[in-house]
Structure 1
Amino acid sequence: MKKWLTDILQGPTFDATRQAKADIATIGQAAGYHIIDIRRYGGLKESNEALMARIQGATAGVSQGDLLVYQYPSLNDGRYEDFFIRQMHRRGVRVVALIHDIETLRDQHAPRWIHEFAFFNQCDVLIVHSERMTAYLRQQGVTTPVVYQYLLDYLDDGATDVRHAIQPQDFQRRVVLAGNLQKSQYLGDWSAQTPITVFGAANPQLTRALMANPQVDYRGSRVRRQLLRELPPTFGLAWDGNTTTYRYSSYTRYNHPHKVSMYLSHGLPVIVWKEAAVADLIVRNHLGLAIDSLDQLDQAIQQLSAADLATMLANVAQVGQLIRSGWFTRQALVAAEAKVLAPKFTLQATGPLSQKTLGR
């Protein structure tokens, strides 16, 4: 049996669309997976025959009895997703869907381009972010077995354990936000006393507001490597807001944002919404703070004792090593393999990051 894992090829972006999938492909390849490159394309007018030929070419080496981990969504059209898994099953291949996003949850309505829950039910196993995500899928009629990734990994070739172990005397009781500022329009009205450093592309109106606010240090967009060098030793803010088009905040009830892993992997404790899916893991493992609203930000940061902060920074440094090494992806892949090959087998894990500790 060979093991395969898909990767999505596209141009560079300032968000995590490409990088999260590329990191998983790198981790999987080191764990013995063969990589299948899937190129993003505008294939809406492509015939079914041409689409099938495209899939056949990408998966020519995949054989009956093999295991294939499919990073979903591929960001192609729904026909591609559907044709891909149907062709794999016709060839006797077991398919695990590693879910990055559930479009129905993110957009708050079922996407027109794919019958998402029917797709999940075609898979042999799903790798999901959280128990809440599983509960939602079950409510929608998805019966496929699941395993958990818990956190996304975040690789950094230039990282060192010393560099990303922030000492209490070097830490600043400030916050930083880096990412897609479309999700963070509230920054234009930042009124907290706690200063914030902001990285990301902003429209002209938001840019003017950020530049005019003395509590905001707006630094614009950065490519990944440059951003990681410039992250200040502060709390990382993982706080998405809703817009008229997307309910980003509501989506965090189910998914684990990539920026949380970016912060933790580089030594920064995080601040998250108390209702976010990742909040329980953060609080249980003393990796940051969970608050109800940004109105509580100043008080939460200032009331944190020096001893609690030192413990938090030490815990973040330890977990950061796991994230930078790809541990969360590896354990999810191993769990998915076991679920496919021996579905009735169970094993109680132990240790500081066991299933019990992680709230499973």
Structure 2
Amino acid sequence: MHKKTEENRYYIHINTDQVNHAGSKAVADCEQIMKSLHYKEIKIYSSKFKNNKLNKVNHLIQILGLYAIPRKSIVVVEHPIYIKCNYLNHLKNINKKKNVKLVFIVHDLEMIRNMLKDSEYYAAKDREMFDIADKVIVHNKRMEDYILKHKLASKDKLISLEMFDYLVSQPLEKKENSEMNSLIIAGNLSKVKSEYIYKLAKTIKHIQLNLYGVFFENVQINSNVHYLGSFIPDELPAKLHGKYGVVWDGSEIDNCVGNTGNYIKYNNPHKVSLYVASGIPIIIWEEAAMAEIIKKYNIGICVESLENIEKILSEISEEQYLIMKKNVKMLSEKVKEGWFLKQALKKV
């Protein structure tokens, strides 16, 4: 009987042009974790034929594969899927006709994020997803509360992930702590997305700022600022050097503002998982949803502003830091083996 259950668990893989960023890493890791739990892959190719008729034929062939799924199967879908076709309608059909249980793993909710050019289209897809889902794995309790408040789904439909996993294939070398307080910021370093970095760089005097990622605007602001390159997500944990990883967003250093600042109040930034996998304590905005997780596991500090970060860090004793470091290393083992998604899938 157990063997039959394994055979009837599937996940949908959308084959598109892959890029190296946190989003693609999160999706790929979820797939890898499901494979380890004996979920089978259903592959759908995102076609890019110049001929629109060929595109439609290709989509039809791909979608027909969904109807071959056995009755009473469990099908996991990572949401959103950035292809403009009516795949949710087809999933709804197989849900009804074959009594297939639909489970969605939320990576982003555009109805909260509101950042894409086609934001209204994908926000509508969010609502449609909640309507047809049997279970939805959401980021955290804060996101769950938002969904319940807006009556998008019932409580028994929702499962809180708590934190994204970050699979690491290679063992990480033990990193020695630097005597100097140093901050790591990894991700999109452009002024449009992360202007706060450039403002923070102007204020620091006695701490080092180590930057990793794309779109860094290489202006000489401060001799304590070091751009250390861009790496693929699987290699990045081994490259990070510093005492704390910063999780912040927006244009200001006194708080997180704008759409990205609002979104951090509800989502699980993947860089939290990156820092945890790397064994690095975290500095996060106190209003971020994941501030509760940082406090729960005592793996970092929650701050109102980065304006006085040098003073804040100077008041952290070596003993306090070592406790946070020990805690994050323990949690690191969990995220590196997919523990959080495995626990969520058990509740499906």
- Shorter-chain-normalised TM-score: which range? 0.7 to 0.9
- Tell me, what secondary structure is at the counterpart of 1:221? coil
Residue equivalent to 1:258:
270
Distance 1:17 1:108 in 2: 15
Residue equivalent to 2:238:
229
Distance 2:68 2:334 in 1: 32
Distance 2:189 2:218 in 1: 14
Distance 1:128 1:99 in 2: 5
Deviation at residue 91 of structure 1 after TM alignment: 2.6
1:111 aligns with 2:120: yes
Deviation at residue 87 of structure 1 after TM alignment: 3.5
Structure 1 residues 60 and 40: CA distance shift in structure 2, 3 A:
same
Residue equivalent to 1:201:
214
- Tell me, what secondary structure is at the counterpart of 1:293? coil
Distance 2:150 2:185 in 1: 34
- What do the CA deviations read for 1:230-252 (whole angstroms, capped 9, x no partner)? 21042111111159x96111101
The letter of the residue matching 2:128 is A
Q: TM-score, normalised by structure 1?
A: 0.82
Identity %: 25
Structure 2, unmatched stretches of 5+, are none
Distance 1:5 1:78 in 2: 18
Deviation at residue 273 of structure 1 after TM alignment: 0.7
1:295 aligns with 2:330: no
- Tell me, what secondary structure is at the counterpart of 1:32? coil
1:132 aligns with 2:142: yes
Residue equivalent to 2:189:
181
Distance 2:11 2:100 in 1: 12
Distance 1:129 1:225 in 2: 22
* Conserved? CA contact 2:27–2:78, under 8 Å: yes
Distance 2:48 2:151 in 1: 31
* Conserved? CA contact 2:237–2:275, under 8 Å: no
Structure 1, unmatched stretches of 5+, are 337-360
* Conserved? CA contact 1:273–1:292, under 8 Å: yes
Q: How does 1:276-315 map to 2 (within 5 A)?
A: 276-315=288-327
Q: TM-score, normalised by structure 2?
A: 0.85
- Tell me, what secondary structure is at the counterpart of 2:105? strand
Residue of 75, 81, 86 corresponding to 1:74: 81
Deviation at residue 108 of structure 1 after TM alignment: 6.2
RMSD over aligned CA atoms reads 2.6
1:328 aligns with 2:340: yes
- What do the CA deviations read for 1:285-334 (whole angstroms, capped 9, x no partner)? 11011111111321222111111111011001100000001100100111
Distance 1:240 1:259 in 2: 11
1:63 aligns with 2:70: yes
* Conserved? CA contact 2:188–2:213, under 8 Å: yes
Q: How does 1:84-123 map to 2 (within 5 A)?
A: 84-107=91-114, 111-113=120-122, 114-123=124-133
* Conserved? CA contact 1:41–1:76, under 8 Å: no
- What do the CA deviations read for 1:113-155 (whole angstroms, capped 9, x no partner)? 4342132121001101112211211233212410111000001
Residue equivalent to 2:152:
142
* Count of residue pairs brought into register by the alignment: 326
Deviation at residue 78 of structure 1 after TM alignment: 5.6
